[in-house]
Structure 1
């Protein structure tokens, strides 16, 4: 048993201040004025907004119930870094620390802060008449009918760190050890690094917020700021948002190129940890290895360069970090569950991807570290109730807009709500933004049986009572193709956490489809709907293999690792 403390790891809480005042006439539910983000925006986003406050509250309550005193926030702890939202996060963290003695160690994500001066945000809310209205921080560009407020603005470095400054970013007297890549000073001016545009015309000295902290004897938490803001070529106003490449798709691929001092620091810290007998855990917002472990190969063939493809770490990242001595790293960013391993000679690197609180599957991790091994548990929030006020707001929004209520509005719990949200995402985000229009038009509204008839060898498919190479039940045959596609995305993101959310008979059907109709992505897509579906069905095997190999509890040895069944 370890003498070191357990640590809760929360990624991508994306807290939205549902009860905050963003200076517009808010919708009123049961006498309360609420800052409700519209369902119209929610159904197009890979995360939900209004449910985040309750999800974070439940996660922190579970941390307290388990007596855990240390919590790592793996970035994107705010919705989009809005001043109002970040201030509210500070109140929550300070209150939890005061009530339970909890220590938080925060890292910036791409949604918490932007460059040296920040950026504007415009979001869609519901007003007191149940109407969708825009609220923006860009007062100079506010359109008629919208509402302008500086509370929506996202700050840059270092101003955006100030509200959560006491939660790891700066030294505290109770830390046994604290340092940055630049030394012992926590002064902002001592934590700057140079970066310039490729053409050399735009040069900056930006702050890096990385730090190493020893909260209790023998435990080192290596907190790495992997946000990278690369100046663009051309002429821009000093510090303007447009002057920088967003860190969203860059992460470690850009870090090893533009912040190489971080890799040198990792090597130094790793060597010192070994020499001093410290247990070292590394954290950053972005993954250092492909969190899908190669299971998403079909996506680039079917959809081109998606967000997933752009955000996948390259081999150079793994090589650099293994050379530097990093062994165990926890990441967020992609809202995915997964454990990925790479080895080179006697060196190995493991990336543990921590799911988001506001996307399917909602969960966080608890790690119990020691010098010999680390035990990691996944804690789900699927059974949590959905705030009924928010569901009422969505129904009123739909009625006001003349739309049918989404099935998500009748969800029995948070897990069901997020799974229904995934179906809405297919219809309102993935189909219009990623899927080929001809394919969408041909399969929309069809059952899986009807879709399979589009395949070249569909003649071999029969009902359960017939003869043929593939036999499926009548219930499975009538399954709406939109449900199949939603399950495809759920399996991609959730891995092992999806298995009890997708009925076994459906998973068996997907294995049959992959076996009978599937083709590997390496064969390429010929542009036909049947060719697209063949690669799409084939991906089910990789997703299911990855899910079935996962576990809710894993044990990672210091030199090798093994998984234990949940």
Structure 2
């Protein structure tokens, strides 16, 4: 009997050793940035105003005008549908952790923040998704509440409707439509936004394995939920900026949502007071990490501490915030400054080299940013040999709409996938209302009316492409491009520009000249913005043949004698290059990056 028992035990050991353990599911996260959610079905708390009735759906909509959208770097209305379509895709992929790197609403208005909360709670309950948020320059617009609203909502007849939170924001003169005044469009500050969205990272949950802020007195070894909760109140998470006596909240946190993964959410907003005694602050848009390393030095010290703790306890560390940590112009920032000046092309948002060096030298390896509405990968190797990978997440509210998926294959090998959002349910639901707007603008003989072909868009992706083309025509070219440079470029064919810088006696293939004659520099400039915003995502849309033609022309411009055209040629070539940014893998051991097939 004893012998039989020993044999059974031996068989049990052998079988347990030979039976393979089920493969551990890779850790996956999705990053959805710059959603700029606007509640197009808003119900205001103090007024009977319901918006304008859609003649097709019968629903009432509170929306911004198409004209305002086509002068902005983002869509205000259709992204309401795009965000939920993206979340549906994420849910189908089985991804259970989603990070939002700032600008999750448009200006942190109560109506929009509450709409976001409702959407996130729905997906949280239905698909068991954990959401983690960090702040952007649009949420909050300023650290403390202030009057807000817009003058470019759409009225029933296609004209503009003013909706503000305070009569002080009304312009002098009469209004075609009676102004709507409601507190639901004020600009909320930190307190209201963080408390309303308290369940999405800003405060600890009992289910978190770890949660900490820059102001916590505990570490991973001494952590417990009750202690974290007691130290999470916003009045215990403040700092002074410059010589201001006002204490500003900092809602940064690190959280362990699943075993072995630390998400580091950095509040990169820097608001500077107008003067030493002022309670009025400037916005955070142009400060970014240049401002952080100067005015929020406590964050740098804390990030260093988090990196060391993560290594000590063998945690996978992923940072995300609204602002980029590494230059995002593919090394063309100097050319942009020389051509356009320091205050154009969003150059005030470019982080200084000191920023990249600071965070790379701390040992931070992975950071997902937003703010630029652009797809890009920046890599910086610090003097101490440490390497930082800054992965820019595109906006869902502009061209090319996409989100990022990060997969940990193991502790040191990660894969990054960029998922383009093409099909969006109901993307054209509001088009009948824009028809009214266009008719009104035409009847009133408005100048520079937007192109009605926008309303022929066959998909959400197509709509964002039209948005970009009109943005270039209505805003970027008139406002950003110097007149002398435009005179040298606009309305010329590629062939004409080539012959203007290259001696006609030089042998030029006739087929090449014919190809260059089939498009204008205006087309090339639209593709310049497509490349600048989308990087490798747009290669297929432009096509290899056209990209080669742009390359040949740009190289010819570099060899010419015109200083501006030489710079433009260099700028275009750099914009066509850069680190892998679509689908790629990163080896965190040797700090290498490799492009993967789309």
TM-score by length of 2: 0.85
Q: 1:401 to 1:445 in 2, by over 3 A?
A: farther
Q: Deviations over 1:111-170 (max 9, x none)?
A: 111333233232412111111233222322323324332221111122222221110000
Partner Cα separation in structure 2 for residue 322 and residue 333 of structure 1: 20
Q: Is the 8 A contact 2:501 2:556 kept in 1?
A: no
Partner Cα separation in structure 2 for residue 2 and residue 318 of structure 1: 34
User: What secondary structure sits across from 2:465 in the alignment?
Assistant: helix
Deviation, structure 1 residue 246: 1.6
Determine which structure has more spread, i.e. the larger CA radius of gyration: 2
Alignment of 1:349-388 (within 5 A): 349-369=388-408, 370-384=410-424, 387-388=427-428
Q: Which moved more, 1:116-125 or 1:211-220?
A: 116-125
Residue number among 296, 302, 311 corresponding to 1:259 in the alignment: 296
2:104 is equivalent to residue 77 of structure 1: yes
Deviation, structure 1 residue 384: 3.6
2:418 is equivalent to residue 393 of structure 1: no
Residue number among 492, 496, 504 corresponding to 1:459 in the alignment: 504
Residue number among 460, 472, 476 corresponding to 1:426 in the alignment: 472
Deviation, structure 1 residue 469: 6.6
The match for 2:4 is none
Residue number among 517, 536, 554 corresponding to 2:568 in the alignment: 536
Deviation, structure 1 residue 25: 6.2
Q: 1:3 to 1:81 in 2, by over 3 A?
A: same
Partner Cα separation in structure 2 for residue 315 and residue 327 of structure 1: 16
User: What secondary structure sits across from 2:377 in the alignment?
Assistant: strand
2:350 is equivalent to residue 318 of structure 1: no
Partner Cα separation in structure 1 for residue 422 and residue 587 of structure 2: 26
The match for 1:527 is none
Q: Is the 8 A contact 2:319 2:367 kept in 1?
A: yes
Q: 1:445 to 1:409 in 2, by over 3 A?
A: farther
The match for 1:553 is 584
Q: 1:497 to 1:251 in 2, by over 3 A?
A: same
Partner Cα separation in structure 2 for residue 393 and residue 504 of structure 1: 38
Q: Is the 8 A contact 1:27 1:130 kept in 2?
A: no
Q: Is the 8 A contact 1:446 1:481 kept in 2?
A: yes
Q: Which moved more, 1:489-498 or 1:225-234?
A: 225-234
2:366 is equivalent to residue 328 of structure 1: yes
Deviation, structure 1 residue 181: 0.7
Q: Is the 8 A contact 2:495 2:514 kept in 1?
A: no
What's the RMSD between the two structures over aligned residues?
Answer: 2.4
User: What secondary structure sits across from 2:578 in the alignment?
Assistant: helix
Residue number among 341, 361, 372 corresponding to 2:379 in the alignment: 341
Q: How many matched pairs? A: 542
Deviation, structure 1 residue 379: 1.0
The match for 2:317 is 280
The match for 1:484 is 524
Q: Is the 8 A contact 2:450 2:470 kept in 1?
A: no
User: What secondary structure sits across from 1:356 in the alignment?
Assistant: coil
Alignment of 1:91-130 (within 5 A): 91-119=118-146, 120-130=148-158
Q: Which moved more, 1:370-379 or 1:264-273?
A: 370-379
Q: Is the 8 A contact 1:211 1:222 kept in 2?
A: yes
Q: Deviations over 1:415-458 (max 9, x none)?
A: 222222211111111122211134446655444444555x3436
User: What secondary structure sits across from 1:151 in the alignment?
Assistant: helix
The match for 1:268 is 305
Alignment of 1:85-234 (within 5 A): 85-119=112-146, 120-143=148-171, 144-145=174-175, 146-183=179-216, 184=228, 185-196=231-242, 200=243, 202-233=244-275
Residue number among 49, 57, 64 corresponding to 1:37 in the alignment: 64
Deviation, structure 1 residue 550: 4.1
The match for 1:464 is none
2:51 is equivalent to residue 20 of structure 1: no
Residue number among 309, 321, 338 corresponding to 1:301 in the alignment: 338
Q: 1:509 to 1:383 in 2, by over 3 A?
A: farther
Partner Cα separation in structure 1 for residue 559 and residue 133 of structure 2: 43
Residue number among 28, 32, 37 corresponding to 1:6 in the alignment: 28
User: What secondary structure sits across from 1:412 in the alignment?
Assistant: coil
The match for 1:526 is none
Deviation, structure 1 residue 256: 1.1
Q: Is the 8 A contact 1:470 1:512 kept in 2?
A: no
Q: Deviations over 1:459-504 (max 9, x none)?
A: 369xxxxx52785354641424322111001101111101112122
Partner Cα separation in structure 2 for residue 211 and residue 25 of structure 1: 38
Q: 1:476 to 1:383 in 2, by over 3 A?
A: farther
Deviation, structure 1 residue 324: 2.2
Partner Cα separation in structure 2 for residue 2 and residue 336 of structure 1: 33
The match for 2:460 is 414
Alignment of 1:434-445 (within 5 A): 434-440=480-486, 443-445=489-491
